[in-house]
């Protein structure tokens, strides 16, 4: 095999392999496109963070924690 033929074949094979590796299987619905956050402490900034994060498109407020049950219920009602 000539050097020139070897370079052509290996470059095509490498390019094809890289294209397959970079192809998104899930597209916009890929799990890596969503961020799940936890909010600790809901008085003041915590409730602001919860409402701000929940309004973002690819962010889910998955967990909230506060020692006051009343404050947790207030945030959950929003």
pLDDT digits (tens, 9 = 90+) for 42-70: 888 888 888 898 899 889 989 988 888 88
pLDDT attached to residue 18? 47
Band (16; pLDDT cuts 50, 70, 90): low
The mean per-residue pLDDT over the stretch 10-26 comes to 56
Q: What is the spatial distance between Cα 69 and Cα 76, in angstroms, rounded to a whole number? A: 11
pLDDT attached to residue 11? 64
Question: How many angstroms separate the Cα of 66 from the Cα of each of 3, 16, 21, 30, 38?
Answer: 68, 52, 43, 31, 11
Band (37; pLDDT cuts 50, 70, 90): very high
């Amino acid at each position: 095999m000539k050097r020139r033929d070897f370079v052509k074949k290996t470059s095509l094979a490498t390019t094809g392999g890289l294209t397959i590796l970079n192809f998104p299987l899930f597209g916009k619905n890929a799990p890596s496109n969503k961020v799940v956050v936890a909010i600790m402490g809901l008085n003041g900034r915590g409730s602001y963070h919860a409402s701000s994060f929940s309004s973002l498109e690819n962010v889910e407020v998955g967990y909230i924690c506060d020692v006051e049950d009343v404050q947790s219920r207030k945030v959950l009602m929003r």
